[in-house]
Amino acid sequence: MRIGIAPAWALGLTLVFATGVEAQPPALVSQVRLANGLNVLFAPDTSATTVDVAVWYPAGTRWEPAGKSGMTHLLEGLMFSGSRRFGTGDHGRLVSAAGGLANTFTTPDYSCFYETLPPSGLDLALQLEADRMASLTLDQRRIDAAKRQAMAARRASAGENSPIGRGLRELYGQAWAGHPYRWPASGGGDDLSRLTLLDVTTYWKSHYGPDQTLLTVVGRFDPAVAEAAVRRAFEGVARRGAPVKPAASVGNGPRRVTRATDAQVPLVLVGWRTPPDSSLDAIALDVLSRALGSGPTARLRRDLVDSRHVCLLTQCQLDSRHDGGLFYVMAAVNPEADTSEVETAVLDEVEKLSGEALGDDELESAKHGAETEMLMSWQTARGLAQSLGAAQLDDGGWNATASRLERLRRLSGADVSRAAARTFVPAKRSVVWLMPGAAQAAPRPPAKPRAMPARKPATGGKP
């Protein structure tokens, strides 16, 4: 069943860098749905030198039931353990021999497996992906080996075991209590060690079939030839039933926690839950995170590090997801500073933007950074596949890639202030302190409730 063929950039956008270099996306994107439920996007680009084949499965922490977190992370490795036609290690070896590379990544919302190859490798990539979708080999020996490897990698991970990594896990656990987003990709607690062969097999059958799965083919290929190859490879894969997301809920109310840690200086992490990635506010909040945290003139660095000297460094990030994300600030605190005053200063710097628009220069600089990053990502088959696939799964359609750019360009200071006002409220806030040594070094919370800044009248349309 063909759902339709439409211009990829139907809004007529002219994609030009500040340097005058034109960013040229493919002229057409076509979408096909096979009888077994597999959704396929074709994005041919005659200027590309490679073809990218990616399979996007409905698998990630958002889909993992309580007590079985880490299942998606475990299957990242198991998907290369062999299938009916191909043995363990054949996948990577064959793709490498064809001059390409194979890799995988997992987000809380989906798991993606991809190959980027010369155009002659298209059929090989499709056959490899279809075979493990239909007939992945799972047995106790492979499960045990994958669990040992995953747990060893988690223990050795500098990012996960650093004070900041532990602080982020704590922050997400507080902000998303009651929702699977509270778990790290590698699993919470001892869940990973308790997973059984039945657990993994059941999860694979319900989440790694064609139902609700997306296949993207992007780059240099002939559309008719590619569609025929996709049908040959995937039409025989049986439908297995749509996966079901576990029930989730997130309560309101500010949350805070203090932990003793091996950090050399106090660390504070403050996060606010944000609306889903498809929300109009997501672009405004991305721009805001850049203005607050990117570059030597970023607000947080200018105020807390360079001017007041109460922090040694600051970072700001928007992690946008399907069900809702997290806008967070991390600061390494000067040991001589008063921690409660630092917390108040961080909250003031962020939350005052609910009623104070960014300056014109700040806004344009942040918008330019976001636009350049977006346009640069479209210059390779892999980057464009990433944009189209994420838009299809997070924003409800591949064409949201183009509309997102248009909304970014129209974004005003008033739009940013409105998004800040809806986001930076106590009910959506979580605070985590990591203190060196004993827990009695815990910071005092701000002495008294702080009034929110008066809001200026907002003008202008939504992004």
Please name which of 374, 423, 381, 383 lies closest in space to residue 403, comparing C-alpha atoms: 374
Best CA proximity match to 391, nearest among 325, 320, 306: 320
Helices (H), 68-222: 71-78, 90-97, 122-135, 140-156, 158-161, 163-175, 191-194, 197-207
Question: What stretch of H or E contains 286?
Answer: helix 281-293
For the record, the structure tokens of 407 come out as 């909304």
pLDDT, position 446: 57
Domain map (residue ranges) of the chain: 34-234, 255-441
Q: At what angle do helices 360-377 and 381-394 cross, to 10 degrees?
A: 110
Instruction: Beginning with the edge strand found earlier in the chain, give each strand of the sheet holding 28-33 in spatial order.
Output: 2-7, 28-33, 39-44, 214-219, 51-57, 111-117, 101-106
- Pair 294, 283: CB distance under 8 Å: no
DSSP string, 61-90: GGGPPTT-TTHHHHHHHHTTS--SSS-TTH
CA angle 105, 132, 398 (to 5 degrees): 50
- Write out the two tokens for 330: 């991390």
- pLDDT, residue 159, reads 63
Look up the CATH superfamily of 255-441. Answer: Metalloenzyme, LuxS/M16 peptidase-like (3.30.830.10)
- Asked whether the beta carbons of 105 and 99 are under 8 A apart, the reply is no
Q: Check residue 240 and report its DSSP letter.
A: -
CATH number at 34-234:
3.30.830.10
Whole-number Å distance between alpha carbons of 366 and 61: 31
C-alpha 459: how far from its chain's center?
A: 31
Q: How far apart are CA 133 and CA 424, in angstroms?
A: 43
Neighbours of 321 (CB within 10 A): 20
Phi, psi at 459, each rounded to 5°? -130, 165
- Cβ(243)–Cβ(63) below 8 Å: yes
- Within 10 angstroms of residue 333's Cβ, the number of other Cβ atoms is 27
Same fold, 34-234 and 255-441: yes
pLDDT values of the chain reduced to their tens digit, one per residue, 463 residues: 333 333 333 323 333 333 334 444 455 899 999 999 999 999 999 889 999 999 999 999 999 998 999 999 999 999 999 999 999 999 999 999 999 999 999 999 999 999 999 999 999 999 999 999 999 999 999 999 999 988 888 877 756 678 888 899 999 999 999 899 999 988 888 899 999 999 999 999 999 999 999 999 999 999 999 999 999 999 999 999 888 888 777 877 788 889 888 889 999 999 999 999 888 899 999 999 999 988 778 899 999 999 999 999 999 999 999 999 999 999 999 999 999 999 999 999 998 888 888 889 989 999 999 999 888 888 899 999 999 999 999 888 888 888 888 889 999 999 999 999 999 999 999 999 999 975 444 555 554 444 433 333 333 333 3
> Exposure pattern of 348-377 as b/e (b: 16+ CB <10 Å)?
ebbbebbbebbeeebbebbbebbbeebbeb
Count Cβ neighbours within 10 Å for each residue of 406-427 and write b for 16 or more, e otherwise.
ebbeebbbbbbbbbbbbbbbee
